[in-house]
Amino acid sequence: MSCCLYPQERLREESILPFSAFLTDNFGRRHSYLRMSLTEKCNLRCQYCMPEDGVKLTPRSQLLSTSEVLTLARLFVQEGVEKIRLTGGEPLIRPDVLDIIAELRKLEGLKTIAVTTNGMNLARLLPKLKDAGLNLINISLDSLVPAKFEFIVRRKGFHKVIEGIDKAIEMGYNPVKVNCVVMRGLNEDELLDFVALTEKKPLEVRFIEYMPFDGNKWNFKKMVSYQEMLDHIRQQWPNLEKLQTGQTETAKTFKVPGFKGQVGFITSMSDHFCGSCNRLRITADGNLKVCLFGNSEVSLRDVLRSGASNEELLQIIGAAVGRKKKQHAGMFSISQMKNRPMILIGGLSHNQSSSEDPSVTLGQSASDQTLPGIDVYNTHLDGTTEEKLTHTDAQGRAAMVDVGGKVPTRRTATARATVLLGPTAFQLLRDNQLAKGDALAVAQLSGIMASKQTSALIPLCHPLPLDQASVTFDLDEPQNAAVVTASCRTTGRTGVEMEALTAVSVAALTIYDMCKAVSHDIIITDVKLVSKTGGKRDFHRHP
């Protein structure tokens, strides 16, 4: 390290001074990486990043000015930040981006200035960016098929991005990182084509698990997990070699032997890397975010503009870092949590969407005349009726109703259950800090699996093909409760309420199982059908 370091930096370099207490959290994580969003604007409209009708932009006066960006950067670098990534929105559309980079370059102690860009303006700007001091580039590219690219980003420009990537390689950036958000049914079929790109080019293609943010219609089924991607790639490239990565690296990296480049996976959803997280984020409007998936923010802009001293700013930053949680809330909680759309965060409510509204009343089929199970009557010739049990035979033995003559109709059912957890277990579940792991993730899968097993568990239930099953959770803070909701749909001859009820029951039991080491005082209650449609009679429970 050069001899012109400020004394403090030299001491830190020589490990005499501990890392800044302000940037160290309660779990010992040192935050030496700052991601700064330079703008909320973008020249693309990626489906996974922003809602179709755009986002409400912050008025310009409330965005950080050039000098505010630099003041904050200087402060963070002075405290030990070694890497700053400029992001957005699209950082390369900010007119002063070159000035910002040139000024950042002057900061002693700052080792890396990186940019994440959609690549649209890259080929044109790159020589100047390099001169200014840019030393690391990530370029987003989600498809190698021009028409698909345009569908995903809702704009034209595929060839400009490719040109930007080639220019970055030509100018000696190595590796050039290419970020690809993988979405089921959209670009998962291109994994091998992206891997093939690394044969001749010094690229690091990073497959990113699709993450939920406000307005991006995230759905568990659209996410392709790291393991699934890896399995798929390994079928073609069984010798794919795992590479060693630094402790704070987010990507798990691999290489096909003999290829120039490599591939990486950003597994934020299936295998978070909270334990080694060293990053902080500042939004374009000057809010410090200590966790990408947390919604707590503190306005550094307002503190700056109030004329606060650096010491006061540091106290506020330190307090925010001190509140950083051990890990984020887990993918299902995240998908149901209020957060900014990605474009307003600049990093790598939204419901976990089921495209179906289970409460929609569907038309009733005229042919659907009997409802197995309850109150069906035998009508005699004299017009009198007698109650007939449909699930027993003449000898009173259990018998399954023959539904073979019925015409299949579309049927839905929604059920709900409440798990009263008590304060300790509730808090641990909410913060995803249960020793057994992500309870809601496990409960969701168990609920869905259980719905498919219903006929194997409930003797007289008919096996039916489920078109769809979903399990979601709401956290009820005042009651310290997790409320489980399951919706099932089939196109069949019998209804799916047993499937929905089984799903919520098993998901609730799973939550119990995940929490029982913390407390046995857990009550599963209020298991009920909320609605069902498509059978002889629709049902909608009134609140």
Where helices occur in 5-142 by DSSP H, the ranges are 7-13, 66-78, 97-105, 122-132
- Shortest Cβ 114–ligand SF4 spacing (Å): 15
Say which entry of ligand SF4, ligand SAM, none residue 506 contacts (CB below 5 to 8 A, set by partner kind).
none
Residue from 48, 220, 293, 426 in contact with ligand SAM (CB under 6 A): 48
Cβ-based nearer residue to ligand SAM, 42 or 229: 42
Residue from 9, 40, 79, 90 in contact with ligand SAM (CB under 6 A): 90
Does residue 64 bind ligand SAM (CB under 6 A)? no
Residue from 179, 485, 510, 533 in contact with ligand SAM (CB under 6 A): 179
Please list, residue by residue across 157-180, b when 16 or more beta carbons sit within 10 angstroms of its beta carbon and e when fewer do. bbebbbbbbebbbebebebbbbbb
- Distance (Å, whole) CA 401 – CA 262: 58
Does residue 250 bind ligand SAM (CB under 6 A)? no
Query: Is residue 469 within 8 Å of residue 448, measured between CB atoms?
Result: yes
Tell me whether strands 262-266 and 297-299 are parallel, antiparallel or unpaired.
Answer: unpaired
Cβ-based nearer residue to ligand SAM, 114 or 509: 114
- Shortest Cβ 269–ligand SF4 spacing (Å): 17
Query: Is residue 355 within 8 Å of residue 412, measured between CB atoms?
Result: no
Does residue 300 bind ligand SF4 (CB under 6 A)? no
Residue from 23, 34, 36, 44 in contact with ligand SF4 (CB under 6 A): 44
Tell me which stretch binds ligand SAM (CB under 6 A): 196-204, 254-262, 341-349, 530-538: 341-349
Length of the chain: 543
- Shortest Cβ 534–ligand SAM spacing (Å): 34
Cβ-based nearer residue to ligand SAM, 303 or 348: 348
Cβ-based nearer residue to ligand SF4, 52 or 521: 52
Tell me whether strands 33-37 and 539-540 are parallel, antiparallel or unpaired.
Answer: unpaired
Cβ-based nearer residue to ligand SAM, 342 or 475: 342
Strands (E), 303-446: 376-379, 385-388, 409-420
Q: How many residues bind ligand SAM (CB under 6 A)?
A: 21
Binding characters for ligand SAM, 458-497, by CB under 6 A (x = yes) = ----------------------------------------
Residue from 118, 219, 287, 451 in contact with ligand SF4 (CB under 6 A): 118
Residue from 50, 132, 434, 482 in contact with ligand SF4 (CB under 6 A): 50
- Distance (Å, whole) CA 488 – CA 502: 10
Does residue 352 bind ligand SAM (CB under 6 A)? no
Conformation bin of residue 492: beta by default, left when phi > 0, alpha when psi is -120 to 50: beta
Residue from 34, 42, 129, 498 in contact with ligand SAM (CB under 6 A): 42
Cβ-based nearer residue to ligand SAM, 88 or 372: 88
* Nearest CA-CA partner of 91 in 134, 131, 59: 134
Tokens of 24: 């160290």
Residue from 46, 165, 498, 515 in contact with ligand SF4 (CB under 6 A): 46
The catalytic residue among 99, 467, 513, 538 is 513
Residue from 90, 204, 368, 497 in contact with ligand SF4 (CB under 6 A): 90
Q: Which of residues 338-367 bind ligand SF4 (CB under 6 A)?
A: 342-343
Does residue 210 bind ligand SAM (CB under 6 A)? yes
Q: Which of residues 70-89 bind ligand SF4 (CB under 6 A)?
A: 88-89
Question: Is 513 an annotated catalytic residue?
Answer: yes
Query: Is residue 428 within 8 Å of residue 518, measured between CB atoms?
Result: yes
Cβ-based nearer residue to ligand SF4, 126 or 317: 126
Binding characters for ligand SF4, 143-182, by CB under 6 A (x = yes) = ----------x-----------------------------
- List C-alpha distances in Å: 307 to 60, 68, 297, 302, 304: 20, 12, 20, 9, 6
Tell me which stretch binds ligand SAM (CB under 6 A): 62-70, 111-119, 485-493, 527-535: 111-119
Residue 211 burial (C-beta neighbours within 10 Å; 0-12, 13-18, 19+): buried
Strands (E), 290-345: 297-299
- List C-alpha distances in Å: 427 to 55, 154, 332, 432, 444: 32, 41, 15, 8, 19
Q: How many residues bind ligand SF4 (CB under 6 A)?
A: 14
- Distance (Å, whole) CA 342 – CA 337: 13
3-state per-residue secondary structure call for 372-397: CCCCEEEECCCCCEEEECCCECCCCC
Compute φ and ψ for 206, nearest 5 degrees: -110, 115
**Rg from Cα positions in the chain:** 28
Say which entry of ligand SAM, ligand SF4, none residue 211 contacts (CB below 5 to 8 A, set by partner kind).
ligand SAM
For the residues of 114-178, what is the DSSP string, one character each? EEEE-STTHHHHHHHHHHHT--EEEEE---SSHHHHHHHHSS--HHHHHHHHHHHHHTT-SSEEE
Say which entry of ligand SF4, ligand SAM, none residue 50 contacts (CB below 5 to 8 A, set by partner kind).
ligand SF4
Does residue 116 bind ligand SAM (CB under 6 A)? yes
- Residue 83: partners with Cβ closer than 8 Å, 6 or more residues away: 32, 33, 34, 110, 111, 112, 113, 114
Residue 409 burial (C-beta neighbours within 10 Å; 0-12, 13-18, 19+): buried
Does residue 348 bind ligand SAM (CB under 6 A)? yes
Catalytic residues: 513
Which residues contribute to the site for ligand SF4 (CB under 6 A)? 42, 44-46, 49-50, 88-90, 118, 140, 153, 342-343
Which residues contribute to the site for ligand SAM (CB under 6 A)? 42, 48-49, 87-88, 90, 116-118, 140, 179, 181, 208, 210-211, 213, 216, 342-343, 346, 348
